[in-house]
């Protein structure tokens, strides 16, 4: 188990520098970077400048991710563009020396078996290239153009591609109505990237996403199962929601989460 936490960095060079300095001042290992549609505008020069900042502060890039692109799109033009973005992400992840490359599985209709077959037709060269560039492939579930909407989807893919990892966020699985602890108990060995995001529900509704330990996620049990599976991937905090993801409250969320989660790290 890693001893230090990381967190999702803000995009933009000034923000990267501020976050890298925060890492050094407060003992965080590194940053992860995520892009949605705005990834199309990201230029290589910006990525290279980002790497220079990380090197200056001796901060690592633990994960590079693109979200929302449909790599299995039925429309040929949309699929080609998504594949171009994925290839670009692989190249940029290598520049940053990211540990993990994360994206969605894509979706091609509602039939699970058809999606698994299409994944098998599309992804082998991408999986090979991700590995050849020193990164681990991690696929996010439950939203954002990804047919990985259940653990069954991963199980079917693992029959052919055991190297496919889960970007695991307990709060997302809980909010989806799944038993996130059961997933970890059975498949903690397939988790390649862990997000720390808290959910606080009241009256049957999600009302806040505060620091870890202030909500409903059972973090002690999460880490018990991760230890049992000898998890060694990044542990990355995700500031999220309208209150705890901005300004001073973001910094408080990071430090309070660090304090709570560090009790489980040795």
Q: In order along the chain (266 residues), what is the average pLDDT of each group of 10 residues?
A: 97 98 98 96 98 98 97 97 98 98 96 98 98 97 92 98 97 96 98 98 96 98 98 97 97 98 97
Residue among 98, 104, 73 at smallest CA distance from 86 = 104
pLDDT reported for residue 95: 98
101 touches 71 (CB < 8 A): no
The count of other CB atoms within 10 Å of the CB of residue 149 is 17
Indicate the class that CATH gives domain 6-262. Answer: alpha beta
One-character DSSP codes across 75-113:
SHHHHHHHHHHHHHHHHHHHHHT-SEEEEE-B--SS-HH
Helix (H, G, I), strand (E, B) or coil at 65: strand
pLDDT value at position 253? 98
Question: What's the whole-model pTM score?
Answer: 0.96
Pairing of strands 205-208, 200-202: antiparallel
Instruction: Check residue 229 and give its pLDDT.
Output: 98
Residue 153 pLDDT = 98
């Amino acid at each position: 188990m890693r001893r230090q936490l990381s967190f999702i960095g803000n995009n933009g060079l000034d923000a990267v520098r501020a976050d890298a300095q925060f890492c050094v001042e407060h003992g965080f290992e590194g940053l992860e970077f995520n892009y949605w549609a705005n990834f199309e505008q990201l230029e290589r020069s910006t990525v290279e400048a980002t790497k220079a900042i990380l090197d200056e502060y001796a901060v690592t890039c633990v994960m590079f991710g693109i979200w929302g692109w449909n790599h299995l799109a039925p429309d040929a033009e949309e699929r080609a563009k998504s594949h171009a973005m994925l290839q670009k992400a692989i190249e940029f992840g290598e520049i940053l020396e990211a540990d993990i490359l994360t994206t969605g599985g894509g979706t091609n209709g509602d039939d699970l078996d058809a999606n698994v077959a299409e994944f098998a037709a599309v992804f082998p060269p991408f999986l090979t290239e991700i590995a050849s560039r020193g990164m681990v492939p991690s696929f996010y579930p439950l939203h954002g153009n990804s047919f990985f909407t259940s653990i069954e989807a991963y199980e079917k893919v693992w029959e052919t591609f055991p190297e496919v990892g889960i970007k695991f966020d307990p709060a997302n699985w809980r909010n989806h109505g799944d038993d996130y602890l059961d997933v970890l108990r059975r498949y903690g060995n397939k988790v390649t990237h862990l997000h720390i995001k808290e959910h606080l529900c009241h009256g049957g509704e999600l009302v806040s996403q505060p620091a870890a330990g202030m909500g409903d996620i059972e973090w002690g049990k999460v880490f018990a199962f991760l230890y049992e599976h000898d998890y060694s991937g990044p542990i990355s905090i995700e500031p999220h929601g309208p209150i705890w993801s901005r300004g001073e409250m973001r910094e408080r969320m990071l430090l309070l989460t660090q304090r709570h989660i560090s009790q489980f790290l040795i």
